[in-house]
Amino acid sequence: MGLVAVTWMNCLGRCLPQKTRFLHTLKGRQSDQILMSPSLASLDLPDTWTPNSSCQSIPDIRKSFNEQTPTVIDGKLMATEIRSKIADQVRQMKKCLGKVPGLAVILVGQRRDSLTYVHNKIIACEEVGMKSVVTELPTDCADADVQNAVMRFNKDPSIHGILVQLPLPQHLDEEKILDALCLEKDVDGFHPLNMGNLSLRGREPLFIPCTPKACIELLIRSGVKIMGKKAVVIGRSNIVGLPTSLLLQRHHATVTIVHAFTENPEQITSEAEIVVSAAGVPSLVRGNWIKSGATVIDVGTSPVEDPSSEDGYRLVGDVCFEEVKKVASVITPVPGGVGPMTVTMLLVNTLDSAKRMLNFT
């Protein structure tokens, strides 16, 4: 029995009859499994409520956290471990079928952060032996140009994953473009049908969006219990905040989404045991936003000018790292936290897609 089972079973084990626990554990573990995250279907536990028999006073749940040094999650190291397993499977696939997974990226315009992200994805594909293709289109291209690129990759049997690098220029119809993407190749998991299946218990999306999937994998690999814990997701973007909240919920956290219209966001956040910040606002999350001993995952990557850097800018997170590290027990850095794991999840999704399409187990 692997680590994953221990991680997500122990905290509220009382809720599960022994047989159910075992079944769910088995489902979540297979010998060739690259990630520690269990399948969503294996997470669907019955909600059994016990009505209160008496009106008790509400206990104070705050506890002080005594340790001084938090665990700084090394997303790069985790990513390296996972990518090495992916590379193994890609080699096996090549040996057995003479084929490798293929990823197609469509990049519109020259946003420098988008260029960096696409570059990282291509390098990552190369490192694990996957094929990758990039179609670059000018900023002023038409909807039809992007849709045509999508259609071409939809039909290409050597391509198992397609992603349109977001954000697109304002004049393009993101909804129409994403809807054109063949569901079986939507490795970003942004199609509304995927999102619906992510939110509905009993259902399983073809692909879990990469950043939310990375956050969960980081938590599980860091030994952070999710089930029953209070989690706050800051930000509710369609590509990170929303699916992260849905995924944490499928993992049985008690999730609150804090957004720009939330009153007292710092007060609500300071009650959470797990905080995932994806607002894209540098230094939004201060030390006083965080409960002692909480786990803090920083998804923010805002480019800020930095003449001393090679590219003239650097990426900064949502979290005041220096302040928050004094109160959190587990924290991700930016860069080197969620970023490398997000790219890794893209590789996992592309590999899974190729395995599904080529019927390779």
Active site residues: 121, 165, 188
Strand spans (E) along the chain: 71-72, 102-108, 131-137, 161-164, 230-234, 254-258, 274-277, 295-298, 302-305, 313-316, 330-331
At residue 127, what is the residue type?
E
What span, in angstroms and rounded, lies between the C-alpha atoms of 336 and 79? 10
The contacts of residue 153 (CB under 8 Å, 6+ apart) are 104, 106, 133, 135, 159, 162, 185
Residue 27 or 286: the one with the smaller Cβ distance to a copy of itself is 286
CB of 276 vs a copy of itself, minimal distance in Å:
15
Residues 298-327 that bind a copy of itself (CB under 8 A): 323
Residue 85 binding a copy of itself, by CB under 8 A = no
By CB under 8 A, tell whether 61 contacts a copy of itself.
Answer: yes
N-terminal to C-terminal alpha carbon distance within the chain: 21
Residue 288 found at the interface with a copy of itself (CB under 8 A): yes
Separation of alpha carbons 304 and 282, rounded Å: 9
Residue 225 near a copy of itself by CB under 8 A: no
Question: Crossing angle of helices 75-97/112-128, nearest 10°?
Answer: 50
Nearer to a copy of itself, 124 or 248 (CB): 248
Minimum CB separation from a copy of itself for residue 266, in Å?
6
Applying CB under 8 A, among 21, 29, 203, 326 the residue interacting with a copy of itself is 203
Smaller CB distance to a copy of itself: residue 255 or 330?
255
Radius of gyration of the chain, Cα coordinates, nearest whole angstrom: 21
User: Would you say 121 or 252 has its CB closer to a copy of itself?
Assistant: 252
Environment class of residue 360 by beta-carbon count within 10 Å: exposed (0-12), middle (13-18) or buried (19+)? middle
Among 99, 230, 314, 326, binds a copy of itself (CB under 8 A): 230
Binding segment (CB under 8 A) for a copy of itself, from list 26-34, 64-72, 122-130, 237-245 = 237-245
- Which three-class secondary structure state does DSSP give residue 214? helix
CB of 340 to a copy of itself, least distance (A): 26
d(CA 3, CA 79): 17
Which residues of this protein are in contact with a copy of itself, per CB under 8 A? 12, 15, 45-49, 51-52, 55-59, 61, 174-175, 191-197, 199-203, 227-230, 235-238, 242, 246, 249, 252, 254-264, 266-268, 270, 279, 281-284, 286-288, 323
